[in-house]
Structure 1
Amino acid sequence: MDENALRELADDRLRALAGPDAALREDQWSAIRALVLERRRALVVQRTGWGKSAVYFIATALLRELGEGPTVIVSPLLALMRNQVDAAAAAGVHAATINSANPDEWADIEEQVAAGEVDVLLVSPERLNNPDFRDTILPELTQTAGLLVVDEAHCISDWGHDFRPDYRRLRTLLTELPEGVPVLATTATANDRVVQDVADQLGVGGEYTDPQETLVLRGTLDRESLRLGVVRLPSAEARLGWLASHLKELPGSGIIYTLTVAATDEIAAYLRDQGYEVASYSGRTDPAERQQAEADLLANRVKALVATSALGMGFDKPDLGFVVHLGAPSSPIAYYQQIGRAGRGVQRAEVLLLPGPEDRDIWSYFASLAFPPEPTVRAVLDALAQQERMSTAALEPHVELGRTRLEMVLKVLDVDGAVRRVKGGWEATGEPWHYDAERYARIAAERKSEQQAMLDYLGTSSCRMEFLRRQLDDAAAEPCGRCDNCTGSGYSGDVDDQAVQQAGERLRRPGVEVSPRKMWPSGMDSLGVPASGKLPAGEQATTGRAIGRLTDIGWGNRLRELLAAGAPDQELPDDLFQAGIKVLAAWDWAERPVGVVALGSRTRPQLVRSLAERIATIGRLPLLGEVLTNPNTTPRRATNSAQRVASLWQQFKVPEDLAAKLSTLDGPVLLMDDYADTGWTVTVVSRLLRRAGAPAVLPFTLATTS
């Protein structure tokens, strides 16, 4: 097929995909030509909505016409996969996906791939190292693939705002591709450093010395439909009140981004109270509910989804009318990526940022989850070296890492060749491994620099779009003429007093559930603790209550101030006492408590005792006593559940006089503490109280972290 015929066929496919008036951009054709005719590797860095997916769907159609094998697209999010399967169908391309949400379909899809019935197979980067997929399916797929696509390729870079270790496995996959298989990497959010890093790692840049092997297409990142603005408001109540007053003015439907899971639920509940159709969306949302929420937003059945960054890359709604951030992301590049969801198919979309004073605290928390120090990582390798293989759960008790960070470390070590994922867990390879302290330090410094840049964005008096484009090293960056600074106008920070009052009442409505632990962590016997499996029903706590979460935008600020490290121990403040009364009054317990027990505290004994005393007095309940801390034990730092339980196991004691009272009770006791973090303190102490005779334990804390 000659080039002219190929171009004509490409135009036909584009019109099927995007409508009868669609025409290929020159850079789109350049990429397609490089992939199909020249079988080269290419990196495409273009703004959201430019048409990167059209490049690989059309290239796929043309390669299939030429008799090549299926395209393999490595894609990071389920939302992206669902959108792309539908988009591929419009281009006459049969796409299928293998991911964690459709295991029942894997066998059928694999048969279809083998039979040549699938044109595009979308897989998650995590799937590349699933032992079954990696060892049985991937080798054949690699040998027969007609095109490899790495979507959202900035994820492969340590410097990218959304680094994912699993993406690094693509380097191995690339080395195993037969000669002449084209490779396309795409992203909308990459500055010079990320572009070079991705190019080096995927072999579309620095590692290829022959210029004929490479093509980098990088365009302007201006988004002419977006109207950027910042609205500064003095309090969380004012921000919520402002949103409730102005949401109806924002065009169409959109996304309201928050920084925490707790905030999505809190804000969505408030906006529903104000009469808006909204839904919350986060990584904790049930997969079926997430899919329904996406469908409702796509169909404009809701005004907005209140979401964390879990609703990000790949969610494609061309007529999305607005993106509002309640709280600033820690990186201008991450911010640009999120606002890129708006205005793809409309002439004007509103993009508003409402920063809050708690943003920096949240940034600091997420920064604390960075790659751990070398001794901690070496402990992981040492533990694996002593066993043939270990599951993540079995490994956890032996290291100073929580589950999420341990999984991240294992993925990095796997990519680096020091460990290998196998059926049943992980095994050490025995290969030497170097801790790149200099690189990790540079990454940490870069993250701090990004935070400062975000603060600079909030404070700039210059063009906001130009600012973001310069952060992405867009050489064509210039004033947009559309943002609040360019026009000298924007949304006013004025907000109706009644709206602020209503928002304040909602935010100050205390009370969240504290879910009990029901299973002991794995591997407790290796730490000398005789606990395993499910907690017996007679030793469990009942679902408890807290006044608020430390991450809440309402009570969170007040509770963080009271419970901050170094804050003085004090009597229970009156505002929290009154809030506690409201929580207890609204508690729909099956049986009213008959007594109060204080949980002995090493750090805030005065606060916890006064909480127990005042609640007992107002509730006309006897203060039964206090669970004592064992003076012969020293609490030690614990970073995961197993080590936390081991640290607590001998730390508490029920004194004899309290045990005697418990054995005579005919109803539950309220257990008072300052805050619940992992939930294991309440679990261990409730077990002691139940074993001493308490019929049931109702935990009550001032704060919870989840």
Structure 2
Amino acid sequence: MITREYAVDTLRHALNNKNADFRDGQWEAIDGILHNKRLLVVQRTGWGKSMIYFLAAKFLREEKRGMTLLISPLLSLMRNQIESAKRVGIGCMTINSTNEDDWDMIGRDINAGRCDLLLVSPERLSNNDFSANILDRIGDRIGLLVVDEAHCISDWGHDFRPDYKRISKLINKLPKNMPVLATTATANNRVVDDIKDQLGQSVEIIRGDLVRKSLFLQNIYMDTEEKRLAWLVSVLKGHLLGSGIIYTLTTRDAEIVAKWLRKNNISAYAYYSNVIPCDDCDKNITERIELDPRWDSDGKNTNIIYRELLENMLLKNEIKALVATSALGMGFDKPDLCFVIHYQRPQSIVHYYQQVGRAGRGVDSAYGILLYGSTDDDAIANYFIKNAFPDEGHVRSVLNAIYEGGTETSKSKIERTLNMSSSNIEKIIKFVANEEMPPIVVDGKKYSATINFKRYAMPREKIERLNGIRYKELDAMKAYCSSKNCLMDLLCEELDSPIIEKKCNNCCNCSPISSIPTKVDPNIEMFASEFLNKTYIPIHARKKWGDINTAVIEFGPCNNGFIPLNLMMNDGMALVSYNSGPLGRLVKNGKYHDHRFDRKLINACVKMYEVWRPITRPTWVTSVPSLNDPSLVSDFSKRFASEIGLKYVDCIKKIKRTDPQKNMKNSYHQQNNIIDAFEITNPPKSDCLLIDDMVDSRWTLTIITAMLRKKGVKSVTPMALADSSNIGD
């Protein structure tokens, strides 16, 4: 029998603190688990929810009642949990996408009983190999199921994940008296009710207040990117001590903000799911990546190693800030994090609380600062809401493709059949596969229709209801930004948390004297504007064909789909991100309104070219032609060529009208849309600079380059006015 006294001794040993004790509700939750209850614990970030399931897992193991299965949504969260489990003294193993080489060994350890806690993502539950080789074998040995970040179960949750729906099916397979623990910091009454529907109505709720007394909240109106960048430099150098996180809504903004801060001697790096080391990374970072035993000469696992390295650098206060998307959020535990800044307004108060709660867990004073006021805030928020659910027509198209393709249907086969992006296809498959009566079944990378296929219908009413709620949440977030009332009180009210006091005395409205200065230095703002005009964007050469068959017919043999080096373009450069900053807006105006690009864009490209200095120096210039506006790009290219002292050669002709490349959604269709659309006549054989106004998929540049080089051109370096790949991000 585990007593409270014994549990406290174990807690003190785990924390290496002889005075440690349970917070209100912690022991009650552990004791409930030991008595086979189903619990939902809703407590503020940093309260200690993970200590409940780590200690419960240890005690259940001591009582020989089986291992714990922990379902957790993020790799960064998993890494923190593994370290925490070690400190508590339990053997924790994980099966995820980053350690596939170790799965067999881990499976043997689990089957041999050498694992106290198995940590998996919800996506792993849909993997047939995992179910057959691991889950089915240990089902009768699981003593506790833990669902971390349980708001992801709920359709109403801010980070709903379709794979979490599988958890209710898993629970139905487990013994009725087996304890289940769900934990979250962000569950209002709607989310709580939804979680109970999934886990069973017998779930008991342990709920505390969400007030963070160490966290000072402040909202600041700033309507331009230039002002926000300038303000960041001032406050990070002069007012905010320690290290922190700056949250952005897009990867593009994460990169720009991080680069700007480094330019101003503030150590900050971008962090998002597919981040790669930046061009101006500290040499120490590159060396540490290459010293990692998982790295090899091909750069395998570089993305994973880099993210882990960035997390550790922040944890050790080796950098001032990570500029992160939501990829760095749930469960990232740094007790001494001193600030969280939101560069843009989040979609909802629930989103906001989840992220701002990273700060002030183990320090007396920390800041949570929200910047708002840009028109981009609305555009990005509306985009996320609009794209939260797949389009009904797209769903039906994917289902038909799977039905007609038979049992061997794969994602690549669907891409060839449908003009649809890979990510959209994945989203649709995940959405329908987790429905109550799924119209398809997923077997590894193969899909087939089920008996429910013909009668499947999109849950329109549910989607409309959810979208309506999300727009209301967006309105509540807008109201929070401009409110003159207590900000902590507003957060608690929106999250249906008990409100302890009507005035926190710890926000910009209750205690304005404690606020961080909001004034922007006009000189730094001017430098920020210049910086935005020089945020050049690399154009990376494509390395593989989108459709091998047509590529081979047009250009000859290739090795496993790789574009031969003698047909590949060099890496190039784009001047700006489309419609971003003064120059980005000039590109938009020139393309769609004036039908001629402004002289300022010529000057800016000349400066870029001087800074960039392509490795292979071009000796002549040509451009990508268009049938819709034949003179637009050629006129710009001739003027630019004259400025840098190179000759312009008109050697590319468009011979077929094509659909706009932006309407082509995957590489197969993007390549085939233009592969026979151009003709090359008598190009010079020396090094070429190939100019286009917009670059997105890079297939137009890739195909024209292959044609030029097949005609004997020594090298081709691409250049574009704007990168439009961020449109809609």
> In the alignment, does 2:514 pair up with 1:517?
no
1:279-428 aligned within 5 A: 279-285=269-275, 286-355=303-372, 356-385=374-403, 386-416=405-435, 417-428=438-449
Query: In the TM superposition, what whole-angstrom CA distance separates every residue of 1:477-510 from its partner, at most 9, and x where no partner exists?
Result: 6332210011133222213333323333333224
Alignment partner of 1:148: what SS? strand
Q: 1:565 to 1:332 in 2, by over 3 A?
A: farther
Contact persistence 2:545–2:562 (CA under 8 A)? yes
Contact persistence 1:27–1:217 (CA under 8 A)? yes
> In the alignment, does 2:37 pair up with 1:40?
yes
Query: In the TM superposition, what whole-angstrom CA distance separates every residue of 1:145-194 from its partner, at most 9, and x where no partner exists?
Result: 00000001111222211122221211221111123111111111122222
Following superposition, the deviation at residue 435 of structure 1 comes to 1.0
The AA in structure 2 aligned to 1:13 is: T
Q: In the alignment, what sits opposite 1:209?
A: none
Alignment partner of 2:426: what SS? helix
Q: In the alignment, what sits opposite 2:250?
A: 260
State the distance in 2 between where 1:98 and 1:473 align: 35
Following superposition, the deviation at residue 375 of structure 1 comes to 2.3
Alignment partner of 1:168: what SS? helix
Following superposition, the deviation at residue 602 of structure 1 comes to 4.7
| Structure 1, 261-270 or 219-228: larger mean CA deviation | 261-270
**Correspondence for 2:526 among 466, 486, 501:** 501
Alignment partner of 1:336: what SS? helix
Q: In the alignment, what sits opposite 1:443?
A: 466
The AA in structure 2 aligned to 1:474 is: S
Q: In the alignment, what sits opposite 1:594?
A: 619
Q: 1:282 to 1:633 in 2, by over 3 A?
A: closer
State the distance in 2 between where 1:530 and 1:36 align: 67
Query: In the TM superposition, what whole-angstrom CA distance separates every residue of 1:120-149 from its partner, at most 9, and x where no partner exists?
Result: 111111212222112211112222100000
State the distance in 2 between where 1:467 and 1:536 align: 59
Query: In the TM superposition, what whole-angstrom CA distance separates every residue of 1:28-79 from its partner, at most 9, and x where no partner exists?
Result: 2222222111x12111111101111111112112211221111010011112
Q: 1:565 to 1:483 in 2, by over 3 A?
A: farther
Q: 1:119 to 1:510 in 2, by over 3 A?
A: closer
Contact persistence 1:397–1:523 (CA under 8 A)? no
Following superposition, the deviation at residue 641 of structure 1 comes to 2.2
1:140-155 aligned within 5 A: 140-155=137-152
Q: In the alignment, what sits opposite 2:213?
A: 224
Unaligned stretches of 5+ residues in structure 1: 206-212
Q: In the alignment, what sits opposite 1:29?
A: 27
The AA in structure 2 aligned to 1:514 is: I
Q: 1:567 to 1:530 in 2, by over 3 A?
A: same
Unaligned stretches of 5+ residues in structure 2: 276-302
Contact persistence 1:88–1:95 (CA under 8 A)? yes
Contact persistence 2:409–2:446 (CA under 8 A)? yes
Contact persistence 2:578–2:587 (CA under 8 A)? no
State the distance in 1 between where 2:519 and 2:444 align: 59
Q: In the alignment, what sits opposite 1:210?
A: none
Q: In the alignment, what sits opposite 1:175?
A: 172
Following superposition, the deviation at residue 632 of structure 1 comes to 5.0
Contact persistence 1:524–1:530 (CA under 8 A)? no
Contact persistence 1:397–1:524 (CA under 8 A)? no
Alignment partner of 1:174: what SS? helix
Query: In the TM superposition, what whole-angstrom CA distance separates every residue of 1:12-42 from its partner, at most 9, and x where no partner exists?
Result: 22222333222223422222222111x1211
Alignment partner of 2:510: what SS? helix
Contact persistence 2:576–2:583 (CA under 8 A)? no
> In the alignment, does 2:268 pair up with 1:278?
yes
Q: 1:632 to 1:287 in 2, by over 3 A?
A: closer
1:446-457 aligned within 5 A: 446-457=469-480
**Correspondence for 1:467 among 479, 490, 503:** 490
Q: 1:40 to 1:231 in 2, by over 3 A?
A: same
| Structure 1, 65-74 or 470-479: larger mean CA deviation | 470-479
State the distance in 2 between where 1:55 and 1:630 align: 68
Alignment length (residue pairs)? 684
Q: In the alignment, what sits opposite 2:694?
A: 675
Contact persistence 1:550–1:557 (CA under 8 A)? no
Contact persistence 2:256–2:535 (CA under 8 A)? no
Alignment partner of 2:341: what SS? strand
State the distance in 2 between where 1:586 and 1:109 align: 51
Q: In the alignment, what sits opposite 2:296?
A: none
Query: In the TM superposition, what whole-angstrom CA distance separates every residue of 1:297-320 from its partner, at most 9, and x where no partner exists?
Result: 111111211211111111101111
Contact persistence 1:97–1:122 (CA under 8 A)? yes
The AA in structure 2 aligned to 1:359 is: D
State the distance in 2 between where 1:42 and 1:293 align: 35
TM-score (norm 2): 0.89
Q: 1:350 to 1:648 in 2, by over 3 A?
A: same
Alignment partner of 2:358: what SS? coil
Contact persistence 2:69–2:119 (CA under 8 A)? yes
State the distance in 1 between where 2:643 and 2:140 align: 74
Q: 1:330 to 1:603 in 2, by over 3 A?
A: farther
Contact persistence 1:11–1:23 (CA under 8 A)? yes
Q: 1:80 to 1:397 in 2, by over 3 A?
A: same
**Correspondence for 2:572 among 544, 566, 579:** 544
Contact persistence 2:578–2:723 (CA under 8 A)? yes
Following superposition, the deviation at residue 294 of structure 1 comes to 1.0
Tell me the C-alpha RMSD between the 2 structures. Answer: 2.5
The AA in structure 2 aligned to 1:360 is: D
Percent identity, aligned pairs only, is: 39
TM-score (norm 1): 0.91
> In the alignment, does 2:452 pair up with 1:431?
yes
> In the alignment, does 2:266 pair up with 1:269?
no
State the distance in 1 between where 2:207 and 2:554 align: 58
Contact persistence 2:587–2:597 (CA under 8 A)? no
Following superposition, the deviation at residue 606 of structure 1 comes to 4.5
State the distance in 2 between where 1:565 and 1:89 align: 59
Following superposition, the deviation at residue 92 of structure 1 comes to 2.2
State the distance in 2 between where 1:673 and 1:372 align: 32
Following superposition, the deviation at residue 560 of structure 1 comes to 4.7
Alignment partner of 1:581: what SS? helix
State the distance in 2 between where 1:7 and 1:157 align: 33
Contact persistence 2:336–2:362 (CA under 8 A)? yes
| Structure 1, 145-154 or 11-20: larger mean CA deviation | 11-20
Following superposition, the deviation at residue 605 of structure 1 comes to 4.3
Following superposition, the deviation at residue 266 of structure 1 comes to 2.2
State the distance in 1 between where 2:491 and 2:549 align: 50
1:521-536 aligned within 5 A: 521=546, 533-536=561-564
State the distance in 2 between where 1:120 and 1:557 align: 53
Following superposition, the deviation at residue 366 of structure 1 comes to 3.2
> In the alignment, does 2:512 pair up with 1:488?
yes
Alignment partner of 1:408: what SS? helix
Alignment partner of 1:486: what SS? coil
State the distance in 1 between where 2:520 and 2:621 align: 44
State the distance in 2 between where 1:524 and 1:187 align: 50
The AA in structure 2 aligned to 1:484 is: C
The AA in structure 2 aligned to 1:699 is: P
